[in-house]
Amino acid sequence: MMDINKMKKRHLLQVFELITSKGVKSEGVYQYQDITASHDFDGYTCWLAFKDLTVTLLFHGAYDLDYDNEETLKIFFNKVAKLLDD
């Protein structure tokens, strides 16, 4: 399983790109394999969401994780690792 300390913004951005390129777009939100991706009007802030988890990717390299259930975080990282391996 990918640990938060090992998860680099580059990987999160790769997942964002994958979701937006392969996902179905509806009202500005892309969805692919239960993960959604969206961004603000200028693209400086991007979001990935899965169940109760939201990842905020900020322009200057920072990211923030907001979640209620630790299990959701683990499942998300497993999904991300699998998407990046495919």
Query: Quick check: is 39 in a domain?
Result: yes
Query: Quick check: is 85 in a domain?
Result: no
* pLDDT at position 17: 94
Query: Quick check: is 56 in a domain?
Result: yes
Query: Quick check: is 23 in a domain?
Result: yes
Query: Quick check: is 84 in a domain?
Result: no
Asked whether the predicted pLDDT for residue 3 surpasses 60, the reply is: no
Domain residue limits at 48: 9-79
Domain count along the chain:
1
The pTM of this model reads: 0.86
Query: Quick check: is 4 in a domain?
Result: no
Structure tokens at 57: 């990717």
Query: Quick check: is 21 in a domain?
Result: yes
* pLDDT at position 86: 79
* pLDDT at position 54: 97
Q: For the chain, report the end-to-end CA distance as a whole number of angstroms.
A: 16
Tell me the DSSP string of 52-74: TEEEEEETTS-EEEE-S-HHHHH
Is the model more confident about 27 or about 9?
Answer: 27
* DSSP character at residue 35: E
Q: In this predicted model, what pLDDT tens digit does every residue of 27-86 receive, in sequence order?
A: 999 999 999 999 998 878 999 999 999 999 987 778 899 999 999 999 998 999 899 987
* pLDDT at position 1: 41
* pLDDT at position 59: 78
User: What is the strand order of the sheet 29-32 is part of?
Assistant: 24-26, 29-32, 35-39, 45-50, 53-58, 63-66
